[in-house]
Chain A
Amino acid sequence: MESRNPLTHRSGQSRRAFLLQVGALTAGTALVSRRASAQQPAAVAPGGEEMTSDSYKPVSRPPKPGAKPTMDAKQLEAFERELACPCPCTLDIYTCRTTDFSCGISPAVHGDIQRLVDGGYSGAEIMEALTGTYGDFILNAPRKEGFSLVAWFAPFAAVAIGGVGIGVLLRSWRMNAKRTESARPSRTAATTGETTLDATPEELAKLQAALREER
Chain B
Amino acid sequence: MILVGELSLWIALLMAAWTTTVSFAGGMQARPDLIKSGERAMYATFGFVVLASVGLWTALFTHDFSLKFVASFTSANLPKVYLFTAFWAGQEGSLLFWTLIMTMYAAIAVFTNRDKNRAMMPFVTGTLGVVALFFLMTMAFAENPFERLDWVPADGRGMNPQLQNPGMAAHPPMLYLGYVGTAVPFAFAIGALVTRQLDAQWLGAVRRWALVSWFFLTIGIVLGMWWAYVELGWAGYWAWDAVENSSFLPWLTVTAFLHSIMIQEKRGMLRKWNVTLVVLSFLLTILGTFITRSGVIESVHAFARSPIGNWFLGFLIAATAVTVYLVSTRLNDMQAKAELESMVSREAAFLYNNLVLVGICFATLWGTLFPILSEWVKGDKITVGPPFFNAVNGPLGLLLLALTGIGPLIAWRRASVANLQRQFTAPLIAGVVVFVALLALGMRDPYALASYLLAGFVFGTIIQEFVKGVGARRRMYSEGLFVAFFRLIGRNRRRYGGYIVHFGVVVLFCAFAGLMFRKDITATLKTGESVKMTDAYGHNWVFTSQGISFFEQLNRRVTAVTFDVTRDGKRMGLLSSEKRQHVNSRGEPTFEPSTEVGILESPKQDVYLVFTGAVDRDTAAVHINFNPLVWWVWFGGIVMAFGGLIVMWPQAQKAEREGGYVAQIPMGRELEPVGAGA
Contacts and interface: CB of A to CB of B under 8 A. Distances in A.
A37 B340 contact: no
Residue in B72, B236, B392 with the greatest tally of chain A CB atoms within 10 Å: B392
A26 to B, nearest CB: 4
Contact of A6 (B163, B524, B666): B524
Contact of B524 (A8, A22, A84): A8
B440 interface: no
Given A11-B524, A39-B303, A135 B89 contact: no
B33 interface: no
A70 interface: no
A19 to B, nearest CB: 7
Nearest to B352: A166
B673 A210 contact: yes
Contact of A90 (B88, B233, B241): B241
Given A90-B385, A151-B370, A41 B162 contact: yes
A53 interface: no
A213 B300 contact: no
A42 B302 contact: yes
A127 interface: no
B72 A37 contact: yes
Interface residues of A, number: 89
A90 to B, nearest CB: 5
A143 B394 CA distance: 18
Contacts of B524: 3, 5-8, 11, 14
Contacts of A82: 387
Interface stretch (B2-10, B104-112, B412-420): B412-420
A124 interface: no
B613 to A, nearest CB: 3
A163 interface: yes
Interface in A27-52: 27, 29, 31-34, 36-45, 47
Interface string B514-536: 00000011111110011100000
B160 interface: yes
B351 interface: yes
Contacts of B588: 27, 29, 32
Interface in A62-105: 82, 84, 88-92, 95-96, 98-102
Contact of B300 (A42, A158, A173, A180): A42
A14 B300 contact: no
Contacts of A141: 383-385, 387-388, 391
Interface string B85-99: 000111110100000
Given A92-B385, A159-B356, A11 B340 contact: no
A208 B414 CA distance: 20
Interface in A140-173: 140-142, 147-148, 151-152, 154-156, 158-159, 162-163, 166, 169-173
A61 interface: no
A135 B383 CA distance: 10
Nearest to A142: B382
B228 to A, nearest CB: 10
B675 to A, nearest CB: 7
Contacts of B412: 198
Contacts of B612: 11, 14-15, 18, 98-100
Contacts of B445: none
A151 to B, nearest CB: 5
A159 B306 contact: no
Contacts of B242: 90
A42 B387 contact: no
A196 interface: yes
Given A37-B90, A210-B673, A99 B550 contact: no
Contact of A177 (B339, B356, B559): B339
Contacts of A6: 523-526, 529-531
A155 B300 contact: no
B623 A176 contact: no
B21 interface: no
A172 B666 CA distance: 29
B594 interface: yes
Given A7-B531, A19-B613, A99 B662 contact: no
Interface stretch (B178-186, B372-380, B454-462): B372-380
Interface in B226-241: 232-236, 239-241
Interface stretch (B34-42, B208-216, B361-369, B495-503): B361-369
B158 to A, nearest CB: 10
A198 B614 contact: no
B557 interface: yes
Given A140-B386, A159-B396, A176-B338, A3 B619 contact: yes
B304 A38 contact: yes
Interface stretch (B279-287, B341-349, B629-637): B341-349
B623 A99 contact: yes
Contacts of B380: 135-137
Given A98-B610, A208-B672, A42 B301 contact: yes
Nearest to B161: A44
A26 B388 contact: no
Nearest to A190: B669
A142 B384 CA distance: 6
A166 B363 CA distance: 18
A156 B589 contact: no
A130 interface: no
Nearest to B339: A177
Contacts of A122: none
A117 interface: no
Nearest to B94: A39
Contacts of A34: 157, 590-591
B90 A95 contact: no
B479 to A, nearest CB: 14
A26 B589 CA distance: 9
B152 interface: no
Contact of B370 (A43, A47, A142): A142
Contact of B591 (A44, A142, A213): A44
B77 interface: no
A6 B524 CA distance: 5
Contacts of B239: 90-91
Interface of B: 72-73, 88-92, 94, 157, 160, 162-163, 232-236, 239-242, 269, 298-304, 306, 337-343, 348, 351-352, 355-356, 358-359, 362-363, 366-367, 370, 374, 377-378, 380-388, 391-392, 396, 411-416, 418-419, 520-526, 529-531, 550, 557, 559, 579, 581, 583, 588-595, 610-617, 619, 621, 623, 654, 657-658, 662, 664-666, 672-675
Interface of A: 3, 5-9, 11, 14-19, 21-22, 25-27, 29, 31-34, 36-45, 47, 82, 84, 88-92, 95-96, 98-102, 135-142, 147-148, 151-152, 154-156, 158-159, 162-163, 166, 169-174, 176-177, 180, 195-200, 207-208, 210-211, 213-214
Given A37-B90, A152-B392, A199-B411, 4 more contacts: A11-B613, A33-B592, A141-B391, A155-B366
26 contacts: A3-B524, A14-B614, A17-B615, A22-B579, A22-B581, A27-B581, A27-B583, A27-B589, A29-B589, A37-B157, A39-B160, A39-B163, A40-B163, A42-B304, A43-B300, A45-B304, A91-B234, A98-B234, A151-B374, A162-B359, A177-B339, A196-B416, A197-B666, A200-B413, A207-B674, A208-B672
